[in-house]
Each structure stands twice: as C-alpha cells, then as structure tokens.
Structure 1
C-alpha cells in the first residue's frame, strides 16, 4: 500500500462503524449502565453470551468472537512460545517504553487528558498489561482463553470514548480527527509490537527473526479483531517498520499533556521505591528502551550515574542470554528471576489500588510459578 498524506488524513476521520453503532444504540436507549453490569461477568472465550443484553450488543458479540479467516494457529503459537521465553523482558519494555511512546503523540495525549486519565497511571498500566497477558496466552482466541471478551469490551470502550468526547464540544474533529481514529489505532498497534521489539534490542535481549515476525503477527490478528481495517495493517514486520517511521515523523512531538503523562508515569514508579537511593533508576530505564529523541521531547530526566548502571545491566543480560543457549543452569536462573519479577510486577502495578492482573496458568508455569493476583472482570466500563 502506498501511504500518502491524503490517505492517512482520511483515516483520521474514520472510527469503528460496528462498535460505534452499538454505542449509539445504547446511548439512545439509556441502557449503558445495565449493559456494563452484565458485561462485567463476561470474561471467557467459551462463555455463552449473557442473557439480558440488547439485540445490538448480542449481534456485535456474535460477529466479533472469532479471529479473521487468515489467522494462522502456528504463527500464534510461535508468539506464545516467544512470550513464555522472553515475556518478562517484553513486560519491562511495555512498562518503561511503550507507555511513554504512547504519550509522544499530542492528539492521543490530549484525549487522555479529556477522559481524566492523566492521574491514573496505575490503571492504564494494569489494563494494558492485562490485555497483553491475555493475548499472549497459549490459545488466546480459542476455548479456555480470556482474550476475546477483553478485546470485545475494549473495542466498545473505544467507541464509547468516541461518542462521549465527540459530543462534549471539547474536541475539534476537523483538526484532530475522530477520537481513537483508525490512524491512532494503527499507530498504537505498531507501538505495542514494533516499538517493543526495538526496545528489547536496546535492552540487550536477542530476538530471532521468526520470533519477531510471529510477535508482530499475533498483534496484527488482534488488531483486526479490535476494529482496525485489515487492508491498512502491514502484512510483514518490515512493512510495519516502514509505516511506523512514517507515523512517528508525522505525529510524534512534545505536548503539555504528553509531558504530564510521562512525568506521572515516572512519579508512579518512583513512589514504589522507598528512600532516595534509587532516584534516577526509573528515568534511566525509560531512556534505555525508548528513542533518545522521544525521551528528550517528553522531558524524561537525565539519569546521571544510573545510566552507567543500566548500561552494565544490558551487558550482563546479553552475557546471560548467551549462556542460556548452552547452559541449563543459566536458563533456570533466568526463568526463576523472570517469575519473581513477574510476581513483583503484578503487585507493583496494583499499587495498593483495586486493580489487579491475572496471569494465564501456562505463562505462570513457564515463568517459574509467579502467583496469581485478582483481576477485574472488565478493563473499564463503557
């Protein structure tokens, strides 16, 4: 596909017609609260659609409960195997890097400000992490998984935001496009796939070509189910990287909201570390996994001595990974460390709030038995 300015501008005026129609129906009937209550209990792929839902919601859930026909189970299984092996590193890059990259575009950051999410970094982190954990389960789209209801409800939440913000009188659609437009969804898809792979490279984690392709592939399947037009999603990782460079150049820029979101994220992490001895570690981690130009634009503090510490950690991780290829003992050390880090991350993301994460059983086993934390039934209400 030839990506032109005119084509991308047109995508800014396009939402998700299927989900948008459902939300318009609920808003007209005043049944949003009732539907929220019913959908909170709808959490498993193999769970029957609950009774008591309007026809428009039932039709939507039926129409969106399966991956596209081109989805390849072997490629999806490859992404799962990669995540079992390196999921802890993926989680680190997601937390310290991808979230910051999401704040680098002014329009989505402004939308977060309007929806009062600037002061809720713990909830955004937990929602994003839960989405990824369900996606990276053994069979995320099949029996026993929990990803499909998570995805269906996330898609409705996006539509609800478009409806509410669009009707608020505080959003200029002619200038900024519809809220959570097709281009913004596409950009987010690339951040959580391409940018994560780039961040892992900066972190010193080796990823094979096939692992990278499979990781991007499962995100492309998820993107189709999330309402992104299939014809605008690059079919290969190389094409995705090319489009990502174009979208970064087109949209990444500093903004007051993006800077505030980044500061809030750093403050949240730093508040979890007692005392002053580790001040600077969080900015050092952010700067390790994001593009330096993004870190500068969003005013991520210079880490000082911690920069040397993170660089040394990257070198150590590379040595351990090389040892892992030939040493059972090294693999056990890394797996155990990964399991402990995952368990700590689950508790950390909750941050004392009523927000938890549920780690699929097969991932917990693969990471050394990280324990399960309670999870909400729905990432947010409509």
Structure 2
C-alpha cells in the first residue's frame, strides 16, 4: 500500500493555521465586540449579498481589494469553462448531493462539526443555512466566478470574512462552558477543515454524480477539481494544500476524511436532524424523514454514519442494494457504458429497470408510473431546488411565494427554465386529484 504524502504531522500543523488576510479584517471589524454580537452581525452579513464598505475600517477595504485579484491563465479559464458547462447541465443534481452527501459527510467529522453546533448556524433556522450554502455553491459555478463584481467572487469574499468572524467569536468567548479547546480542536475553520470542505464541494460531487448514474469523462472530472482548487485558494486555503493532480487530490481528501470522521460524534445527529427536517419541510413532507435518511445512507456509504449521524440502520436487503450499486457505478466499464452523453443506453430498457429498482429501494415505486424514464434521485433534487427558488433570501422563513422585487435564489430564470424545475411533483395524492 502506497504511503500518503499527507502525513498526520503535516495535517496537524494545518489545524493550527487560520487565514491571516481575513483574520486581520475581522479583527478590525469586531475587536471590541463580544462573541454574541459578532455572531449576530455574521447572520446579517450572510443575508446581504452586497456589502456597503463606506463605514467599514480601512483593513476591511484592503481585504476586499487584496482578495479580488485572482490570477489565472488561459488553461485555467478553459477548465473553468468546462466545469461551468457540467454545472449548467447537472447543477440541480449538485443541490441534492450537497444535502444528502456533502454536508452529512462533513457532519461525520466532530471537530469541524463542532464549529457549526457552537455557532448554531446549522441548528437554528436550518432551512436558511441550507439555502445559503446551496447559493454559495451555485454562485461560484460560473465561468467568470473569479472576476471583480461577479456574484461568485463576492460570495467567496463574504464567506471568507464570515469564517474569520467565527474564529474570533469562538476563540474569544469568555463563558467557561464555551471555552474553545485549542489543543484538541485546533483553530476554528482551520486549513485542514477548509481543504476538506473544498473536496466535499468538488470530489464528493463527482463521486455523487457517479452514484446517481451520471458519469463524466476524465477531462471533465479534472476540470471540476481544477476549478475548485482555484476557488479554494481564493477562499484562503494555503498553497501547501493545493493539489492540481486528480489522484493526489483524492489521496488528500481520503486522508483528511479518515483522520476526522468518527462514529463517536456528539454533534453529528443534531446537525443531521436539523438538515433533514428542513428538507422535509421544503418537499411538503412528501418524503418522510425515513426516506430522506435512506437517501443519505446511500450517498454516504459508510456504516459509521448510522451512529455518527443518528441515521436508522438499513435493512439487509437495502444495504446489499447500496453495496452493489456503489460497486457497479465505480467500474470504468460501467461509467463508459452509461456515460452522460450515451442517450441510447440512458433512455433504453436497461435504464428503466435501474430506475424501477431505485424507486423500490427508496419507497418511491408509486411515483415510477409517472416518471419511468426519469432518475428519481434527480427528481428529488429538482423538487428541493424548486422550493428554494421560491424563497426570499432576506425573509426566508416567512416567504413561500414569488415576488420579483425581492432577491431570490436564482438571479435569472435561465437555469430554472433549462432544468424544468417546475415540471416535477412527487405527491401522489395531489397528482390523483389533478387527474380527476
């Protein structure tokens, strides 16, 4: 077995390294405020996509000037273009994978998960937090994400500053019961945690697409990784953790995940329950919590998740189905046969059989008669994204109807229309009523 170059000694040092550029700006902003005041202001910043800098200290203006200079070459732009093309085709799947794979995988890691629980950013008002995370992923997945004034770069700058604020709030909380255990946890939102999160938004998504039966060419996989590595550097990830090589990136991701994920996880079940309950509300309880847990179990593909995330244990038959599906979709010959552009196979009888098996596995067989050619996991993603698209970003909990005067999830309707987000409904009873 080849020894990883990402040693425990090196990664341990990364746990005590923050982001000096953003931390300097955060200190100027919040040095004289207590932890609660900082967290309250972070919640306000998270809702406002355009920050007015005129009343901010000079250090904050300097931060935005420094971080808007993203140097790229022609080859970088070509890979950004290809990655954005993949997103334009399958971005709605990213949404489902974010909720059922990327975020729960992160929750399996007690140390970074403790930051989320401590700040309550993914426990209180979970639906809002979910929406904001999804919108960040959507904002940066465009060809010009790196250009000043682009929503992608503005999102990166805002989130990076928020991370620095969280570090300040957590490390300077005077309450004895909230004292940050630096020796055990390291710096909040440290370099190792940032690298892990970056992989969850890139490599984990690629793997999830495979598990959905959507297989990319090698150059497409590398383009997605390359784009997110540049996004990561712009987010403050240090050069020592930069991995341009696809194989090396997987090595880093697996090494960090192995180090950090754990079945013994106090905060994991709390975070997962908040996430799945918010998703259940978005789909109007068409999918039960048990179904949502089944989908999460499938994409996580790790027995430790049952305890670490508080998920129910699947039946023997369901567990065997998941194992076989993961084995088949990982095979190169399968990925070639069912490549995303092979419409003859993807629309044929074999795909229908697979779709039916997936529907049975997740208890959605009643819906199969309406969507025999549709991947039901893709449909679930579309339904959740359709609900997100209706929400007012500044009044999320109270809004469930469209108002063109308010800032919504999509800045324009192009992707909404291209993905046909309004064309799916899993509610069998509603469909039966409509058919009368």
TM-score class, shorter-chain normalisation, is 0.7 to 0.9
1:347 alignment partner, one of 378, 384, 387: 387
In 1, the alpha carbon distance for the partners of 2:302 and 2:195 equals 23
The 10-residue stretch of structure 1 (186-195 or 279-288) with the greater mean CA deviation from structure 2: 279-288
For 1:325, the equivalent position in structure 2 comes to: 342
Deviation at 1:24, TM superposition (A): 0.9
Closer/same/farther in 2, CA of residues 68 and 230 from structure 1, 3 Å limit:
farther
For 1:43, the equivalent position in structure 2 comes to: 50
Paired residues of 1:162 and 1:180 also in contact (CA < 8 A): yes
Where relative contact order (Cα < 8 A, 6+ residues apart) is larger, the structure is 1
1:113 alignment partner, one of 117, 122, 129: 117
In 1, the alpha carbon distance for the partners of 2:412 and 2:229 equals 21
For 2:187, the equivalent position in structure 1 comes to: 178
For 2:403, the equivalent position in structure 1 comes to: none
Q: Max radius of gyration: which structure?
A: 2
Instruction: Note the aligned Cα RMSD (angstroms).
Output: 4.0
For 1:8, the equivalent position in structure 2 comes to: 11
SS of match in other structure, 2:267? helix
- Superposed counterparts of 1:85-100, under 5 Å: 85-100=89-104
Closer/same/farther in 2, CA of residues 115 and 143 from structure 1, 3 Å limit:
closer
Deviation at 1:93, TM superposition (A): 1.1
1:260 alignment partner, one of 260, 270, 291: 270
SS of match in other structure, 1:283? helix
Deviation at 1:50, TM superposition (A): 4.4
2:107 is the alignment partner of 1:103: yes
Paired residues of 2:203 and 2:225 also in contact (CA < 8 A): yes
For 1:24, the equivalent position in structure 2 comes to: 27
In 1, the alpha carbon distance for the partners of 2:278 and 2:47 equals 27
For 2:135, the equivalent position in structure 1 comes to: 130
After superposition, what is the alpha-carbon deviation per residue over 1:85-108, rounded to whole angstroms, capped at 9, x for unaligned?
A: 222222211111111011011111
Paired residues of 1:283 and 1:303 also in contact (CA < 8 A): no
The 10-residue stretch of structure 1 (149-158 or 134-143) with the greater mean CA deviation from structure 2: 134-143
In 1, the alpha carbon distance for the partners of 2:254 and 2:170 equals 29
For 1:364, the equivalent position in structure 2 comes to: 416
2:318 is the alignment partner of 1:301: no
Paired residues of 2:23 and 2:165 also in contact (CA < 8 A): yes
For 2:248, the equivalent position in structure 1 comes to: 239
For 1:287, the equivalent position in structure 2 comes to: 297
In 2, the alpha carbon distance for the partners of 1:210 and 1:323 equals 14
After superposition, what is the alpha-carbon deviation per residue over 1:299-324, rounded to whole angstroms, capped at 9, x for unaligned?
A: 3123559949x979999xx9x96696
In 1, the alpha carbon distance for the partners of 2:220 and 2:27 equals 40
Deviation at 1:14, TM superposition (A): 0.7
In 1, the alpha carbon distance for the partners of 2:130 and 2:285 equals 23
In 2, the alpha carbon distance for the partners of 1:287 and 1:73 equals 36
Paired residues of 1:91 and 1:129 also in contact (CA < 8 A): yes
The 10-residue stretch of structure 1 (283-292 or 127-136) with the greater mean CA deviation from structure 2: 283-292
Paired residues of 1:187 and 1:247 also in contact (CA < 8 A): yes
In 1, the alpha carbon distance for the partners of 2:225 and 2:249 equals 9
| TM-score, reference length from structure 2 | 0.71
SS of match in other structure, 1:72? helix
In 1, the alpha carbon distance for the partners of 2:25 and 2:259 equals 32
In 1, the alpha carbon distance for the partners of 2:129 and 2:296 equals 17
In 1, the alpha carbon distance for the partners of 2:421 and 2:138 equals 15
Closer/same/farther in 2, CA of residues 8 and 323 from structure 1, 3 Å limit:
closer
List alignment gaps of at least 5 residues for structure 1: 372-382
In 2, the alpha carbon distance for the partners of 1:36 and 1:122 equals 14
- Superposed counterparts of 1:266-281, under 5 Å: 266-273=276-283, 278=288, 280-281=290-291
